[in-house]
Structure 1
């Protein structure tokens, strides 16, 4: 495991700890990982670029093609928004919500790309994801089962990555699959233990990896400048 991966896991662990403490609806769970991504991207760019995120200058707002959008992580130069990263960390009930997540991503991508702002999406999934019953407000319900990530859960994202370059397709896509042990230590999942195809494993490790995502997003920022 390299330094980048170790730092990422540390930030995810801090985000997960905040999620457990403050609940799914609190944006406090996003500050550690958004801040880490912003710092990592900043280190890849010249001093003329600025990077904003929660806990690091605050989120930027964009007048998108169809609606106003608050951006997760934003790169600017001379006060112009060049590119943004949308971040999603699925902590529970993935199977129930996966189609909604995907449809929202397509709309968000088109809304941002149509105003000539670069768009990247980082998706963090758990290999074993708890399913909770509904409860009141921000309270977590009872865990009723564990969902194991499989080919079906990933196939739409793989198709999107392989699609032609249309406004609904992120210019940079990253998918990182993690897991937690019994005492909530975070680690990268062993893809060989999941029911996913060899083709999908290869794409995840060679094209949608953390390192590729950071490098490609930095290149996108340079291109947009």
Structure 2
């Protein structure tokens, strides 16, 4: 399984556990930092840790340290009295994503935004029909009355080639057609953003798409690019063109 997909599944498991026991992310973070510190924790430290956990549960970039931290959070939640009470009721937890077609309804059902859900209904079906796919990001590109358009970016292995270097960013554009029906208008199967992987879609405005992700340093292995870049892309007639790159870490 792709390492980013492993991180996504850990994040989803934590969110599912929080939902089952009725905790917010802030409640979990404050409880965890207090219970795992021998000394008293002041309010400022609690707030900082809450913000840190929020980022850890949304950013999908892989590191062995992050994997270990998420596992620690899961063990903590499974050991709470709140979970022990509800687990005896046999409440179903999350379904692990695999990257393959059986993920379709899980991906769609987990999207809470009604408009993005409609977009994913067609984009995820398209993505999973041409290869493996995970980590979907939906961005509204146009809200014009006669041209409602969305950009959907994901990672996947188009054609199910199965190699460690065959996965990467993929993009499609989804348009709302007549009578509110959505369809995939075009696909960029090998989305050239100058990045080995995209960690975050920062935003879209005035035909400029901003993404952040990673590319290789000289000594990096194939699946672990370490240089973090923010990239601005502008849509041309057929392709997206890089207009600015910035090293951010």
The normalised TM-score by structure 1 is 0.29
Higher relative contact order (CA 8 A, sep 6+): 1
Structure whose alpha-carbon radius of gyration is higher: 2
| Larger strand percent | 2
